[in-house]
A and B are shown apart, each in its own frame.
Chain A
Amino acid sequence: MSLSIGYYPGCSGQGTSIEYEQSTRTVFARLGIALSEIPDWSCCGSTPAHTVNHVLSAALSARNLELAAKAGMETVTTPCPSCLTNLRTASHKMENEAFRAEVAELLETECSSLAEIKSTLQVLVEDFGIDAIKAKMTRPLEGLRVACYYGCIMNRPKELMQFDDPEHPMAMDNIMKACGAEVLPFPLKVECCGASAGIPRKDIVAELSGRLLDAAALLGVDAVVTACPLCQMNLDLRQSQANAARGTNHQMPVFYYTQLMGLAMGLSAEDMGLSKLCVDPNPCLKRAGVL
Chain B
Amino acid sequence: MRIGVFVCHCGSNIAATVDCPSVAEAAKMFPDVAFATDTMYACSEPGQDSIINAVKEHHLDGVVVASCSPRMHEPTFRRAVERAGLNKYMLEMANIREHVSWIGKDKELNTRKASDLVHIAVEKLRRDTPLVANKFDVTKKVMVIGGGVAGIQAALDCADAGIEVVLVEREPSIGGKMSKIDKTFPTVDCSSCILGPKMVDIAQHPNITLYTMAEVEEVGGYVGNFDVKIRRKATYVNWDNCTGCGLCMEKCPSKKGFDRFNEGIATTTAINIPFPQAIPKKASINPESCIMLTKGKCGVCAKVCPTKCIDFEQKDTIVEDKVGAIIAATGYDLFDYTVYGQYGAGKYPDVVTSLQYERMMNASGPTSGHIKRPSDGKEPKNVVFIQCVGSRDKSVGRPYCSGFCCMYTAKQAILTKDHIPDSNSYVFYMDIRSPGKGYDEFTRRAQEQYEVQYIRGRVSMVFPQGDKLMVRGVDTLAGEQAEVEADLVVLAVGVESSVGASGLAEKLRISYDSYGFFMEAHPKLKPVETNTAGVYLAGCAQGPKDIPTSVGQGSAAAAKVAALFSKDMLESDPQVSKVDMARCVGCLKCVETCPFGAIKEIQDRGGNVKAEVIETVCQGCGICTVTCPQGAIQLQHFKDNQILAEVNALCQAEMSFE
Which residues in B have their C-beta under 8 angstroms from that of A74? none
Q: Is the CB of A167 within 8 A of B465?
A: no
Closest to B340 in A: A167
B463 within 8 A of A: yes
| Distance, CA A187 to CA B344, complexed state (A) | 9
Q: Do B341 and A187 touch across chains, with their CB atoms under 8 A apart?
A: no
Contact among B341, B347, B463 for A166, CB-based, below 8 A: B341
Q: Which residues of A contact B466 (CB under 8 A)?
A: 218
A25 and B117 CA atoms in complex are apart in Å by 78
Shortest A54–chain B CB gap in Å is 23
B465 touches A218 (CB 8 A): yes
Q: Which of A167, A188, A215, A218 contacts B341 (CB 8 A)?
A: A167
Query: Which residues of chain B have C-beta atoms less than 8 A from A188's C-beta?
Result: 463
Report the nearest A residue to B348, measured CB to CB. A187
C-alpha spacing A218/B466, complex, angstroms: 7
Q: What is the size, in residues, of chain A's interface with B at 8 Å between Cβ atoms? A: 8
Q: Which residue of B lies closest to A168 (CB)?
A: B341
A126 located at the interface, meaning its Cβ lies under 8 Å from any Cβ of chain B in the complex: no
User: Which of chain B's residues have a CB closer than 8 A to the CB of A187?
Assistant: 463-465
A102 CB-CB contact with B under 8 Å: no
Nearest CB of chain B from residue A45's CB, rounded to whole Å: 29
Complex Cα distance A188/B470, Å? 11
Q: Once the chains bind, are A165 and B463 in contact (CB under 8 Å)?
A: no
12 other contacts beyond A167-B342, A187-B464, with CB at 8 A cut-off? A165-B341, A166-B341, A167-B341, A167-B461, A168-B341, A168-B347, A187-B463, A187-B465, A188-B463, A215-B465, A218-B465, A218-B466
Residue ID in chain A nearest B343 by CB atoms: A167
- Chain A residues lying within 8 Å of B341, measured Cβ to Cβ, are 165-168
Chain A nearest Cβ from B466, distance in angstroms: 6
Interface residues of A (CB under 8 A from B): 165-168, 187-188, 215, 218
Measuring CB to CB, which residues of chain B are less than 8 angstroms from any residue of chain A? 341-342, 347, 461, 463-466
- Chain A residues, Cβ within 8 Å of B465: 187, 215, 218
CB distance from A160 to the nearest CB of B (A): 15
14 contacts across the A-B interface (CB closer than 8 A): A165-B341, A166-B341, A167-B341, A167-B342, A167-B461, A168-B341, A168-B347, A187-B463, A187-B464, A187-B465, A188-B463, A215-B465, A218-B465, A218-B466
What total of A-B pairs shows CB separation below 8 Å?
Answer: 14
Chain B residue at smallest Cβ distance from A214? B465
CA of A165 to CA of B342 in the docked complex: distance in angstroms?
A: 11
Residues of B within 8 A of A165 (CB): 341
Chain B residues whose CB sits within 8 angstroms of the CB of A166 once the complex forms: 341
Residues of B within 8 A of A168 (CB): 341, 347
For the complex of A and B, 3 pairs with smallest distance between CB atoms? A167-B341, A187-B463, A167-B342
- Least Cβ distance of A123 to chain B in Å? 24
In the assembly, what is the distance between CA of A14 and CA of B466, in Å?
39
- Chain A residues near B464 (CB-CB < 8 A): 187
Residue of B nearest to A189 (CB): B463
Scoring A165, A187, A218 by chain B CB atoms within 10 A of each residue's CB, the highest score goes to A187
From residue A109, how far is it (CB to closest CB) to chain B in Å?
A: 39
User: Chain A contacts of B342 at CB under 8 A?
Assistant: 167
Chain B residues whose CB sits within 8 angstroms of the CB of A215 once the complex forms: 465
In the assembled complex, the Cα of A158 lies from the Cα of B342 at a distance in Å of: 13
**CB-based nearest A residue for B470:** A187
CB distance from A120 to the nearest CB of B (A): 24
A10 to B639, CA, bound (A): 74
A188 to B461, CA, bound (A): 10
Q: Which residue of A lies closest to B462 (CB)?
A: A187
Q: Which residue of A lies closest to B339 (CB)?
A: A167
In the complex, which residues of chain A have a beta carbon less than 8 angstroms from the beta carbon of B461? Answer: 167
Task: Kindly state the separation between the CA atoms of A218 and B465 in the bound complex, as whole angstroms.
Answer: 8
A187 to B347, CA, bound (A): 11
Nearest A-chain residue to B472, judged by Cβ: A191
**How many angstroms from the CA of A215 to the CA of B466 in the assembled complex?**
9
Query: Chain A CB within 10 Å — which of B342, B347, B463, B464 has the most?
Result: B463
Q: When chains A and B are docked, how far (Å) is the Cα of A167 from the Cα of B465? A: 16
Measured CB to CB, the closest approach of chain B to A167, in angstroms, equals 3
In the complex, A253→B180 CA distance in Å? 51
Closest residue of B by beta carbon distance from A166? B341
Q: How far is the CA of A71 from the CA of B461 in the complex (A)?
A: 44
Q: How far is the CB of B386 from chain A (nearest CB, A)?
A: 15
In Å, the complex CA distance between A225 and B552 comes to: 59
Cα–Cα distance between A144 and B545 once the two chains are bound (Å): 54
Q: Which chain A positions have C-beta within 8 A of B463?
A: 187-188
CB distance from B464 to the nearest CB of A (A): 5
> Nearest A residue to B469 by beta-carbon distance?
A187
Q: How far is the CA of A167 from the CA of B466 in the complex (A)?
A: 19
CA distance A166 to B340 in the complex (A): 11
A114 to B217 alpha-carbon distance, docked (Å) = 53
- Per the bound structure, the CA–CA distance linking A218 and B470 in Å amounts to 14
Q: Please measure, in the bound complex, the distance between the C-alpha atom of A94 and the C-alpha atom of B338, giving whole angstroms.
A: 35
Q: Within 8 Å CB of B347, what residues of A?
A: 168
CB distance from B404 to the nearest CB of A (A): 28
State the CA gap A168–B341 with chains docked (Å): 7
B37 shortest CB reach to chain A, Å: 59
What is the distance, in angstroms, from A142's C-beta to the closest C-beta of chain B? Answer: 25
A188 to B465, CA, bound (A): 10
How far does the alpha carbon of A187 sit from the alpha carbon of B342 in the complex, in Å?
A: 10
A187's nearest neighbour on chain B, judged by CB, is B463
Min C-beta distance of B344 to chain A, whole Å: 8
Alpha-carbon separation in the docked complex, A187 to B463 (Å): 6
Q: How far is the CB of A193 from chain B (nearest CB, A)?
A: 16
CA distance A127 to B464 in the complex (A): 33
CA distance A218 to B464 in the complex (A): 11
Question: Which chain B residues border A167 with CB–CB below 8 Å?
Answer: 341-342, 461
